[in-house]
Structure 1
Amino acid sequence: MVFGLALAAPPGPMNAIIAEESVVSGWSAGFRAGLGAMVADVLFFVLTLAGAMTVVDRYPAVRPVLYLAGGVLMLYFAIGAVHAARDATSFTDSGQSASKGFRKTFTLSLTNPYQIGFWLTIGVGLLESGTLDVLAFIPGAGDALEGVLVVQTGSPSLLAGFFAGIAVWIIVYPAALVAADRRVDSFAPMIAAASGAVLAGFGVWFLWAGGTALL
């Protein structure tokens, strides 16, 4: 569960969408957005188990195309987040706009090279017997936490705990945002605007990475 939480919690495009959906359309919308990313991970897990994910490594041109597609999607979703920030004056607006969070995160996950890369590398390691240094993969703090939590891989309990950790995050994170917004009435537009900025930044980064790889 710690491993799942460690991967789900860091800031990124998925959490930006979850945040926007949570403060603009309520907890259930934020949860559905998180569920979209989680369902994509389950799909990647099944494909990894079947050996189908290796197509990304077999055809080098696939990864740059994913970068470009993901970048375009992120910029498109960023525009939507900016509109949401402009239209939502407070948490009391929640529920007035239809939530599309599940489709956003699920579609974006399918074109996310980092998520795919995880299942091609670490994800394969989860399925094979051995050991895994869980906290070593936390961005920015992995070196300092190396060796603190090492678990046995290749067991059903590890996989169950991994997805349980992600499930805990997509339940608790939207709930925390909604609770905070109820205390600070102007929180919704600020979070939606910040989410748009995060998505735009990642979108430009993905387009640059994809374009560079193709040149």
Structure 2
Amino acid sequence: MTALTTALAGVVFGLALAAPPGPMNAIIAEESVVSGWPAGFRAGLGAMVADVLFFVLTLAGAMAVIDRYPIVRPVLYFAGGLLMLYFAIGALEEARAATSFTDGGDHASKGFRKTFALSLTNPYQIGFWLTVGVGLLESGTLDVLSYVPGAGDALEDVFVVQTGSPSLLAGFFAGIAIWIVVYPAALVAADQRVDAFAPMIAAGSGAVLAGFGVWFLVTGGTALL
């Protein structure tokens, strides 16, 4: 497999992991429709910077320390769940205040901090770097599409690539970068056409965050039992 093909495989992998609905995309959506594309992009950048940090820690072997202490994961579930509920309240308040598409304002600076803090307490994101992330660094093979949430079983063996390549890692982060540029832009374009989308998307983002927050708290409680 050529370096270009491997890089393209990484892009597909990055997009497949970044695109599915979840708390990060809920925050990106909220920021985009309330404060415009720059705010949505910064929100996506917060999650991406956290991934870069996890990548560096995985490369240094520091992430493996988490596996030695079983209590860490439930604590992360609780912390992440509480953060999501807190952000959900903010999103619902903004949904009531937002009457149309707006651009700029003090709110724009909050998205990066939200997604970055949430990423640091997200057991699934940490779990990815403890498992698949290690696989990306080691020489071998990776079944790219098998990790697509909700469809991985049906896509097994469709797209298998060689791992341990700088081209694959560069493509992976490029895929995430493409998503955090295109996704906010698409939301803003839609919202500018229909002003009513702003409060609707903000409210939907709050509902998604609240749902994931409750789920994380329940999962953390179950893990402790």
Q: TM-score, normalised by structure 1?
A: 0.98
Match of 2:175 in 1: 165
Letter aligned with residue 161 of structure 2: V
Match of 2:140 in 1: 130
Match of 2:156 in 1: 146
Match of 1:83 in 2: 93
Match of 2:24 in 1: 14
Alignment equivalent of 2:216, drawn from 202, 206, 210 = 206
Distance (Å, rounded) in 2 between the aligned partners of 1:117 and 1:4: 16
Map Cα deviations across residues 108-136 of structure 1 (whole Å, 9 max, x no partner).
Answer: 00000000000000000000001101111
User: Is 2:120 the counterpart of 1:94?
Assistant: no
Distance (Å, rounded) in 2 between the aligned partners of 1:148 and 1:80: 41
Distance (Å, rounded) in 1 between the aligned partners of 2:189 and 2:143: 34
Alignment equivalent of 1:58, drawn from 68, 74, 83 = 68
Letter aligned with residue 98 of structure 1: H
Match of 2:127 in 1: 117
Distance (Å, rounded) in 2 between the aligned partners of 1:194 and 1:16: 8
Alignment equivalent of 2:45, drawn from 27, 31, 35 = 35
Classify 1:94/1:88 alpha carbon distance in 2 versus 1 (closer, same or farther; 3 Å): farther
Alignment equivalent of 2:165, drawn from 155, 178, 188 = 155
Distance (Å, rounded) in 1 between the aligned partners of 2:106 and 2:93: 11
Distance (Å, rounded) in 1 between the aligned partners of 2:99 and 2:207: 18
Find the residue that maps to 2:104 and give its secondary structure.
Answer: coil
Letter aligned with residue 95 of structure 1: G
Map Cα deviations across residues 137-163 of structure 1 (whole Å, 9 max, x no partner).
Answer: 111211221111111100000000000
Q: TM-score, normalised by structure 2?
A: 0.94
Shift in Å, 1:64: 0.2
Shift in Å, 1:94: 2.9
Distance (Å, rounded) in 1 between the aligned partners of 2:25 and 2:120: 16
Find the residue that maps to 2:33 and give its secondary structure.
Answer: helix
Letter aligned with residue 44 of structure 2: G
Distance (Å, rounded) in 2 between the aligned partners of 1:45 and 1:208: 28
Structure 2, unmatched stretches of 5+, are 1-10
**Once superposed, what is the RMSD of the aligned Cα atoms?**
0.8
Q: Bigger CA drift: 175-184 or 97-106?
A: 97-106
Match of 2:113 in 1: 103
Report sequence identity in percent: 86
Alignment equivalent of 2:185, drawn from 172, 175, 182 = 175
Letter aligned with residue 134 of structure 1: V
Structure 1, unmatched stretches of 5+, are none
How many residues were matched structurally?
214
Distance (Å, rounded) in 2 between the aligned partners of 1:188 and 1:96: 15
Letter aligned with residue 153 of structure 2: D
